[in-house]
């Protein structure tokens, strides 16, 4: 029985608080969010904290903060209970017991009479006989009364082949081997995921269950439980896996997946993360690549979700981040970059940082650098553009264009530049165009690169930087001459 869908769309993201959020979990959250927003539906953040052993303190905050950073706002969550009550499973225990009792009354749940050791023995035997272990082979003939201490198992009502529809994969089916008497409520009184999520989805009116494809295998079990409870199925939406870059494994915490906050700290923009993640496992069907959040919401649809897994490619993320940096309002970039510059360890305490006039002067130039040079893809990298503040450190090799120039020639040009600039009035430095005309003829005669490259490196110390005239203009006569002098000492 599949739900009819005239009702309001409700999706949920249901992580367990066992640590940080990585790319994979965020992508799942994103799709559920996008789909809910697209349909003017409800997006619920539900905390599945039924495994007290694996729980990591602080995770709930961490999860919320991650989603907040990406601006994936939820309608109900751990901080905002819904009409159905709390969004934290450990606070919903009575509900699970209530439904468990319904199953017991129907004769569809029973306490597990075995100890863990006995179970291990069964498993071992099955393993030796090279057949899958099925608990139902050991199901007791007569059910004891459940005292709440022993784990409660579900009695699969009917061993059969299940067929169902998945919104991204179409018709799916699985054989009887996929069905077994799984645990509903553990010995410690907490429900298992298998049980709790179904009860919660029911009570929270979840219409679309969007989760990773790893749950496809256990769907027949869920189905048998929906049937036993006589409740309708939600729409199943199985999302493709995000693979590690070596393509050998699903991305997961245990395999070195990064905390989403690492990307934040490296200076990636939330807009870029969202945009990029949306495009792994989904595509708009057009050739558009750069999306704002609003555009994503508008364009998102389940039938463009990919079936096969995808690799997270950081190079493309870097490119995309830059594209989003270019789209930011100038004031915002300025604020963000300047903030980072101020915290850059190499220039802390530099008086220029508090010189508003100077800072104003350099912002358009830094902006220009950000949008043009490939060495800057993140806000953090932008915060490393300290060449206006410090006497640059660089190798002689760089000054000589990595071997393209000779020391002798270079020194000759630098001497000329030094003398020429020395004779120039300080006021002339207020106009980059002026400086250009001053130097340009000489540069043209001697090969532009031969003259301009060393000058630029002497001033910035960078392989990539704004043009030398702009640098002269920003640094002024005194500082420029000082830096040229430094270069001559090499």
Partner RNA sequence: GGCCUCAUCGUCUAGCGGCUAGGACGGAACCUUCUCAAGGUUCAAACCGGAGUUCGAUUCUCCGUGAGGUCACCA
| Touching RNA, residues 357-396 (CB under 7 A) | 371-374
Say whether residue 172 binds RNA (CB under 7 A): yes
**CB atoms inside a 10 Å sphere around CB 457:** 24
User: Do the Cβ atoms of 170 and 162 come closer than 8 Å?
Assistant: no
The one among 107, 132, 148, 232 contacting RNA by CB under 7 A: 132
Say whether residue 224 binds RNA (CB under 7 A): no
**CB atoms inside a 10 Å sphere around CB 87:** 24
Which span (110-118, 229-237, 337-345, 418-426) binds RNA, by CB under 7 A? 110-118
Q: Which residue has the tokens 């410690």?
A: 188
Phi, psi of 409 (to 5 degrees): -60, -50
Q: C-alpha angle with apex 335: 333 to 340, nearest 5 degrees?
A: 95
Tell me how far apart the alpha carbons of residues 152 and 362 are, in angstroms, rounded to a whole number: 68
Nearest to RNA of 284, 342 (CB atom) = 284
Residue count at the site for RNA (CB under 7 A)?
88
Q: Least distance from C-beta 298 to RNA, angstroms? A: 18
Site for RNA in 387-446 (CB under 7 A): 401, 436, 440
Nearest to RNA of 214, 330 (CB atom) = 214
DSSP 464: S
Report the first-to-last Cα separation within the chain, whole angstroms.
80
Say whether residue 188 binds RNA (CB under 7 A): yes
- Report the candidate in 481, 480, 478 with the shortest Cα–Cα distance to residue 470: 480
253 is catalytic: yes
- Report the candidate in 423, 402, 425, 421 with the shortest Cα–Cα distance to residue 469: 421
Task: Tell me, rounded to whole angstroms, the distance of Cα 446 from its chain centroid.
Answer: 50
Nearest to RNA of 254, 408 (CB atom) = 254
Say whether residue 190 binds RNA (CB under 7 A): yes
Q: Least distance from C-beta 245 to RNA, angstroms? A: 8
Nearest to RNA of 53, 147 (CB atom) = 53
Say whether residue 215 binds RNA (CB under 7 A): yes
- Report the candidate in 32, 43, 37, 31 with the shortest Cα–Cα distance to residue 74: 43
14-33 mask for RNA (x: CB under 7 A)? Answer: xxx-----------------
Catalytic residue among 102, 253, 342, 477: 253
Q: Least distance from C-beta 309 to RNA, angstroms? A: 6
- DSSP letter for each residue of 436-459: HHHHHHHHHHH-HHHHHHHHHHHH
Which span (2-10, 114-122, 228-236, 382-390) binds RNA, by CB under 7 A? 114-122
Q: 252's torsion region: left (phi>0), alpha (psi -120 to 50) or beta?
A: beta
Site for RNA in 244-263 (CB under 7 A): 247-250
Say whether residue 313 binds RNA (CB under 7 A): yes
Which span (28-36, 67-75, 260-268, 455-463) binds RNA, by CB under 7 A? 455-463
Q: Least distance from C-beta 203 to RNA, angstroms? A: 16
The one among 39, 64, 203, 218 contacting RNA by CB under 7 A: 218
Q: C-alpha angle with apex 28: 27 to 30, nearest 5 degrees?
A: 60
Residues 6+ apart with CB under 8 A from 140: 110, 113
Distances (CA, A) of 448 to 130, 136, 428: 76, 82, 22
Say whether residue 169 binds RNA (CB under 7 A): yes
Q: 40's torsion region: left (phi>0), alpha (psi -120 to 50) or beta?
A: left
Site for RNA in 271-310 (CB under 7 A): 279-283, 285, 287, 289, 304, 306-310
Nearest to RNA of 178, 209 (CB atom) = 178
Which span (4-12, 63-71, 127-135, 478-486) binds RNA, by CB under 7 A? 127-135
Phi, psi of 77 (to 5 degrees): -165, -170
Nearest to RNA of 209, 353 (CB atom) = 209
Q: Least distance from C-beta 463 to RNA, angstroms? A: 5
Catalytic residue set: 253
């Amino acid at each position: 029985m599949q739900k009819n869908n005239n009702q309001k769309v409700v999706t949920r993201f249901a992580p367990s608080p066992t640590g940080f959020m990585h790319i994979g979990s965020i992508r799942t959250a994103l799709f559920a969010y996008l789909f809910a927003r697209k349909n003017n539906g409800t997006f619920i953040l539900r905390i599945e904290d039924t495994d007290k052993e694996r729980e990591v303190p602080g995770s709930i905050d961490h999860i919320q903060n991650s989603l907040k950073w990406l601006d994936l706002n939820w309608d109900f969550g751990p901080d905002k209970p819904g009409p159905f009550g709390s969004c934290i499973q450990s606070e919903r225990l009575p509900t699970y017991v209530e439904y468990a009792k319904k199953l017991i009354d129907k004769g569809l749940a029973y306490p597990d009479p075995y100890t863990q050791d006995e179970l291990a023995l069964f498993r071992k035997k099955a393993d030796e006989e090279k057949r899958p272990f099925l608990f139902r082979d050991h199901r007791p003939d007569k059910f004891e009364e459940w005292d709440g201490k022993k784990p409660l198992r579900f009695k699969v009502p009917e061993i059969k082949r299940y067929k169902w529809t998945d919104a991204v994969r179409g018709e799916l089916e699985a054989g009887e081997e996929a069905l077994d008497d799984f645990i509903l409520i553990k010995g410690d009184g907490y429900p298992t995921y298998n049980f709790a999520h179904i009860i919660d989805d029911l009570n929270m009116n979840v219409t679309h269950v969007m989760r990773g494809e790893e749950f496809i295998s256990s769907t027949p079990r869920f189905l048998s439980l929906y049937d036993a409870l006589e409740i309708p199925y939600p729409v199943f939406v199985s999302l493709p896996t995000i693979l590690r870059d070596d393509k050998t494994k699903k991305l997961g915490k245990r395999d070195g997946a990064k905390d989403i906050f690492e990307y934040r700290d490296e200076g990636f923009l939330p807009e870029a993360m969202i945009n990029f993640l949306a495009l792994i496992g989904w595509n708009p069907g057009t050739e558009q690549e750069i999306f704002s959040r609003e555009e994503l919401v508008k364009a998102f649809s389940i039938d463009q979700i990919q079936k096969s897994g995808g690799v997270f490619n950081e190079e493309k993320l870097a490119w995309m981040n830059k594209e989003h940096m270019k789209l930011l309002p100038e004031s915002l970039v300025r604020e963000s970059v300047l903030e980072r510059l101020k915290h850059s360890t190499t220039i802390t305490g530099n008086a220029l940082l508090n010189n508003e006039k100077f800072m104003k002067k350099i912002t358009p130039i830094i902006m220009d650098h950000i949008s043009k040079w490939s060495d800057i893809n993140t806000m953090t990298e932008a915060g490393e553009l300290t060449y206006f503040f410090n006497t640059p450190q660089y190798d002689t090799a760089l000054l000589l264009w990595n071997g393209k120039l000779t020391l002798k020639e270079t020194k000759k040009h630098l001497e000329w530049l030094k003398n020429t600039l020395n004779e120039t009035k300080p006021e002339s430095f207020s106009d980059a165009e002026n400086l250009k005309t001053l130097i340009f003829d000489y540069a043209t005669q001697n090969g532009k690169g031969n003259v301009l490259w060393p000058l630029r490196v002497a001033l910035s110390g960078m392989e990539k930087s704004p043009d030398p005239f702009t640098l002269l203009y920003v640094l002024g006569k005194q500082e420029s001459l000082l830096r040229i002098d430094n270069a001559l000492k090499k």
